[in-house]
Structure 1
Amino acid sequence: MKLDAEMKLLQAKIEAGIIKNESDGSAARSSDAGAKHPKLPSFQDGRDDLDVWLTRFERFAESNGWSREKWSSSLCALLTGHALDCYGRLSAEQAMTR
């Protein structure tokens, strides 16, 4: 099924570091210091294409100056359904370091 393939792709991207929570060496901007929740719509199974949604998330995060340390927690807050289940299967270390 397409959704299972998308979930595997999400997990592979997280594990490969395409979506990661590591600092890229640049200074973190202060604009993400007070951010509590990203201002993006949640990923919705059956409605959103995961690859397109992830690209949107990454561009939003970069354009708003979020440090990469914030990406994982922000991503988690926006996932629902099978995508959140996939994220939840990651170990705590994987979820926080990729």
Structure 2
Amino acid sequence: MLSPADCPDMPTLRAQIDTLDRELVRLLALRTTYIDRAVEIKTGAGLPANIPARVEDVVAKVKATAAEEGLDTEIAEALWRQLIDWSIAREAKTIKLD
């Protein structure tokens, strides 16, 4: 990967962004495999898909990491809340607690 400062033109810059996008998608797909494993563990333990305290813990950690990395914490929080909502919905399709 080139640093942004080392990109001499827009095609080179776009190629670097495309590479990052592919890596982000790969990491999100990997994260999904952990969500699927969480379904198995939660089902066995009788836990619900949505655990609000855990949601807030994840969001707090993401915001802290975003701040450390120089990323706007509001955009990080918004993205992760959407990701978490999707993950909970994915889990809830399988986890059925009475």
Q: Same fold (TM over 0.5)?
A: no
Question: Quick one: higher RCO (CA 8 Å, sep 6+), 1 or 2?
Answer: 1
Rg: which structure is higher?
2
Q: With structure 2 as the length reference, what TM-score do the two structures score?
A: 0.32
